Amino acid sequence: MISTNPFAILAETVPSIGMQIFALAMVALAGGGTILDIIHKKNVKYFFNNAKKAKLSATKNLSSGEKISVVTKTIAHDILTTAELGATQRRIAHVMGMYGTVLFWIGSAVMIFKYSSPGISTPSVWPIIWHVGAIMTVIGGGWFWLFLRVDVSAEANSVFRIVLADLFVLALVAASAMGLIWSFLQTLGISGWDMLFLVLFAVANIILFGGVYWSKFAHMFYKPGAAIQKNLAKADGSNDDLPMPADAPEDFGLGISREKPKHY
Amino acid sequence: MSTFVYMTRCDGCGHCVDICPSDIMHIDKTIRRAVNIEPNFCWECYSCVKACPQQAIDVRGYADFAPMGHKVRVLREEKKGTISWKIKFRNGTVKDFVSPITTKPWGKHIPKLAEADSPNQGDMQSQILYNEPHGLNTEKDLPAINKSSFKKGVYY
């Protein structure tokens, strides 16, 4: 199952152009939703105005080379490994979900646009990437939603309470899970059920990409930008008006570590 | 006035929710980030500001003692045991301070006052408070300002 391209089997009943149009429509929905979100929240405008204001309190002019170095380090450290979450379960779940989603989407795009026509054999690496990505997304997203959500872990809300902030993670997990089940049933040749899960897979994707305006989907685009701005501000000395790290303290306190925020 | 959260910095870890003594820092239902749900009830204790690992929380001070345009920002470094403060005045003056973290682990380091020496008459009449200057991390005399350095026209 894991090395079978589900879209190639699907191409026997649904023309590959149909799948390609669906995939492009999802991209358009995500792009449109993000643009609407930016217009509505005015967050990008605030972000650049704030960055401009912060520059006024800079103590150092960064050269292009220094800026590139800061951006490169931020990408390698903060963005690709979500370092801001620290060495916690949240970070592991987030990284798992993030890379799972990336693999799932890349696998989907390659298999739909390149290997979905009947008669074209798919290198087994792509279905494996797609399935592994989906499994990682389900595990990472499910772990987060069931055990790590802050409104459950720090606020003691019921694990079954669903709020708008769950739209993104639930749609993402549902899309991956439905895709996996559909692929499994289709490989086994269980007709009827495979069609049901194909429809659920499509619906979950429509909710995921069509709900960008209402969900947390766009944080994937905002967070990297914010991390770069934060590190550039640290490098140019403005540091968002925060104090610089303390220099050689003299026997100061016990420095106790934060406990997990679970004292409700 | 009250605390507010920089959304670009907040990662929704819940430390502010956990520590807020007024129970007004909560998690937003739409974006799962911290939010002050009752700004009027915030008494600016700075607990959440110091607890935030991302330095995502800031405070707007009351205009009578903290005129518009000022900033008071804080950085808590657990490994060093320090809390650094940066005060930025409206006219651009900046002052930096570093203080020790005095929070102790729960139930440990309880001072055994019953075992301490009883104060004598000299201690009672001294202006030095109990455990000073040791409690201030210095065995020297308490810091004092030379009165001649005061601004002219100010008398004490």
ipTM of the complex: 0.85
- CB-based contact A153 B14, cutoff 8 Å: yes
- Residue B54 within a domain: yes
User: B75, A257: Cβ pair inside 8 Å?
Assistant: no
Chain A positions in Cβ-Cβ contact with residue B85 (cut-off 8 Å): 243
Q: Contact, A260 vs A107, CB < 8 A?
A: no
3-class SS of residue A174: helix
The predicted model gives A110-118 an average pLDDT of: 89
In angstroms, what CA-CA distances link A73 with A67, A206, B8, B60?
A: 10, 35, 19, 33
* pLDDT tens digits, A116-150: 887 788 899 999 999 999 999 999 999 999 989 99
Bridge partners of B74, per DSSP, are B85
Nearest CA-CA partner of A146 in A201, A79, A89, A206: A89
Rounded Cα gap, residues B153 and B2, in angstroms: 36
Radius of gyration of chain A (CA): 22
In a domain, B7, yes or no: yes
Beta bridge partners of B27: B34
SS3 A22: helix
On chain A, the residues whose CB falls within 8 A of the CB of B29 are: 151, 163-165
Q: Which residue of A has its CA nearest to B75?
A: A243
Which site among B33, B80, B94 would you substitute to test the A interface, given the most A Cβ atoms closer than 10 Å to its Cβ?
A: B80
User: Nearest C-alpha of chain B: how many angstroms from A182?
Assistant: 31
Residue B12 lies in a domain: yes
Cβ atoms A106, A13 nearer than 8 A: no
Q: Which residues pair with B4 in a beta bridge?
A: B58
Q: Is A241 on the interface with B (CB under 8 A)?
A: yes
Q: Which of B43, B106, B155, B156 is catalytic?
A: B43
Cβ-Cβ contacts under 8 Å, A216 against chain B: 31-32
Tell me the residue range of the domain where B6 lies. 1-66
User: Which residue from A minimizes the CA distance to B27?
Assistant: A151
Rg (CA), chain B: 20
**DSSP letters spanning A53-102:** HHHHT-SSPPPHHHHHHHHHHIIIIIISS-GGG-SSHHHHHHHHHHHHHH
Residue B118 counted as domain residue: no
Longest pairwise C-alpha distance within chain A: 73
Determine phi and psi for B57, rounding to 5 degrees: -110, 135
Write out chain B's pLDDT in tens, 156 residues. Answer: 789 999 889 999 999 999 999 999 999 999 899 999 999 999 889 999 999 999 999 998 766 666 677 888 999 988 888 889 998 888 888 899 888 887 777 788 888 888 888 889 998 998 888 878 777 767 777 777 787 777 666 555
Supply A145's token pair. Answer: 């939603």
Specify if B49 maps to a domain. yes
Q: Find chain B residues with C-beta within 8 A of A155's C-beta.
A: 14, 17, 26-27
- The residue among B9, B96, B15, B11 whose CA lies nearest residue B52 is B15
Cα A93 from chain centroid (whole Å): 11
pLDDT score, position A191: 80
Domains contained in chain B, number? 1
Q: Check CB contact under 8 Å for A241 and B86.
A: yes
Is B130 a member of any domain? Answer: no
Angstrom distances, CA of residue B101 to CA of A148, B48, B58, B137: 29, 15, 19, 12
A156 touches chain B (CB under 8 A): no
Q: What integer is the mean pLDDT of A207-213?
A: 95
Distance in angstroms (rounded) separating the CA atoms of residues A262 and A155: 8
**pTM for the complete prediction?**
0.82
- Contacts A–B by Cβ distance under 8 A: 136
Q: A226 — contact with chain B (CB < 8 Å)?
A: yes
The model's pLDDT over A46-89, given as tens digits with 9 standing for 90+, comes to 888 888 888 888 888 889 999 999 999 999 988 999 888 887 88
pLDDT at A145: 93
Q: Is residue B28 part of a domain?
A: yes
The C-alpha of B12 sits at a distance from chain A's nearest C-alpha, in angstroms, of: 7
Q: Out of A86, A243, A256, whose CB is closest to B84?
A: A243
Residue B73 belongs to some domain of the structure: no
The CA distance from B56 to A84, in Å, is 12
The Cα angle at residue B93 between residues B88 and B98, in degrees rounded to 5: 55
Q: Do A249 and B28 touch (CB under 8 A)?
A: no
Q: What is the CATH number of the domain that holds B21?
A: 3.30.70.20
**Contacting A residues, span 68-87, partner chain B, CB-CB under 8 Å:** 84-86
Question: Cα(B82)–Cα(B74) distance, rounded to whole angstroms?
Answer: 10
CB-based contact A33:A211 (threshold 8 Å): yes
CB-CB under 8 Å, A154 with B17 = yes
Active site residue B43: yes
